[in-house]
């Protein structure tokens, strides 16, 4: 049996060997060459006392099953001690940046959520929203909103119609001034600054959330 390809490169280092595995060829072809070199062409450097081996797969992503098949081949040489295997972690499904819910929070109702929440609807007086992250209300906030309930002081509360009966961020509580009931409300958000509750226009939210995309016109 002859293997002409060179998908497996074995290099000696100070305290062992490094296996450099091609990250572009077919995986079955790679395993075949690895098996051949372990059994035939590299006997002179793969025999003797215990040898520490570092395996590098470049940019190749492999499953746990594929990893185990490779290890089974390497372990056939009893003196090879696999010290590390370097390859990119499997891509994880990205969780959405926030949960989207819609409806109405009526008096006496409490909506709780772990993470950031985008709520499409109104929060009536006597109703409450509690979140561990940010609260964004596309509607009227006339009840109570508590962001960062687990102590996250970086959380914010935003609403299209900002007229809450009470705001809480982490442990800080702010009761709105009396004029909130009579003044013309607008799209605003609340945040903590030096431990005190602050209110600002929604257009300035990018100061605290610089990752938000900003429309600059054409």
**What Cα–Cα distance (Å) separates residue 136 from each residue in 15, 103, 130, 154?**
56, 14, 12, 14
117, 165: one domain: yes
Say yes or no: 105 and 189 in one domain: yes
Reported as a pLDDT band with limits 50, 70 and 90, residue 171 is very high
Same domain, residue pair 106 and 39: no
Give the tens place of pLDDT for each residue, 88-112: 876 554 556 789 999 999 999 999 9
- The answer on pLDDT for 179 being more than 60 is no
Tell me, what's the pLDDT at 75?
86
User: Residues 123-147: pLDDT tens digits?
Assistant: 999 999 999 999 999 999 999 999 9
Q: What is the model's pLDDT at position 206?
A: 87
The contacts of residue 67 (CB under 8 Å, 6+ apart) are: 85
CATH of the domain at 118: 2.160.20.70
**Is residue 195 assigned to a domain?**
yes
Please identify which residue in the block is written with the tokens 């929070």. 105
- CATH code at position 41: 3.30.160
Domain shared by 72 and 148, yes or no? no
Q: What is the pLDDT of residue 3?
A: 44
Domain contains 214 = no
Q: Which of these three, 59, 86, 113, is where a domain ends?
A: 86
C-beta of residue 109 within 8 angstroms of C-beta of residue 147: no
Residues 62 and 152 in one domain: no
Could you tell me which of 188, 192, 180, 193 has the C-alpha nearest to residue 205? 188
| Among 29, 52, 86, residue at a domain's last position | 86
Separation of alpha carbons 41 and 73, rounded Å: 15
**pTM (predicted TM-score):** 0.56
In a domain, 186, yes or no: yes
CA distance linking residue 218 with residue 216, whole number of Å: 7
Among 186, 178, 218, which residue's Cα sits nearest to residue 204? 186
Tell me, yes or no, whether 104 and 203 share the same domain. yes
Q: Name the pLDDT band for 181 (thresholds 50, 70, 90).
A: low
Q: Is residue 1 part of a domain?
A: no
71 and 104 fall within a common domain: no
Q: Are residues 63 and 107 in the same domain?
A: no
The DSSP result for 12-80, as a single string, is EETTEEEEEE-SSS-HHHHHHHHHHIIIIITTTTS-SS-EEEEEE-TT----HHHHHHHHHHHTTSTTE
Is residue 62 included in any domain, yes or no?
A: yes
Pairing of strands 188-193, 196-201: antiparallel
147 by Cβ neighbours in 10 Å (0-12 / 13-18 / 19+) ranks as buried
Whether residues 134 and 49 fall in one domain: no
| pLDDT value at residue 115 | 92
**Residue 159 pLDDT:** 95
Q: Which domain holds residue 35?
A: 8-86
- Same domain, yes or no: 203 and 103: yes
Q: Which of 129, 137, 135 is nearest to 116 (CA)?
A: 135
More confident residue, 1 or 141: 141
Kindly state whether residues 73 and 117 are assigned to the same domain: no
Residue 185 confidence (pLDDT): 64
Q: Is residue 215 part of a domain?
A: no
pLDDT of residue 59 exceeding 80, the answer is: yes
Number of domains in the chain: 2
């Amino acid at each position: 049996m002859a293997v002409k390809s060179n998908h497996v490169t074995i290099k000696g280092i100070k305290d062992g060997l490094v296996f450099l595995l091609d990250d572009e060829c077919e995986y079955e072809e790679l395993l075949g060459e690895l098996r051949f070199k372990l059994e035939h062409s590299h006997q002179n450097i793969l025999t003797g006392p215990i040898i520490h081996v570092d395996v590098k797969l470049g940019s190749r992503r492999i499953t746990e099953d594929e990893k185990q098949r490779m290890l089974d081949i390497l372990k056939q040489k009893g003196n090879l001690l696999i010290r590390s295997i370097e390859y990119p972690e499997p891509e994880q499904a990205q969780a959405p940046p926030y949960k989207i819910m819609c409806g109405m929070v009526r008096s006496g109702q409490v909506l709780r959520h772990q993470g950031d929440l985008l709520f499409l609807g109104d929060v009536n007086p006597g109703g409450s929203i509690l979140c561990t992250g940010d609260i964004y209300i596309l509607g009227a906030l006339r009840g109570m909103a508590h962001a960062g309930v687990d102590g996250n002081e970086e959380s914010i509360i935003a609403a299209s119609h900002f007229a809450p009966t009470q705001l809480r961020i982490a442990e800080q509580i702010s009761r709105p001034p009396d004029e909130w009931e009579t003044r013309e409300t607008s799209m605003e958000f609340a945040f903590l600054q030096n431990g005190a509750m602050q209110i600002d226009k929604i257009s300035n939210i990018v100061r605290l959330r610089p990752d938000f995309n900003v429309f600059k016109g054409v």
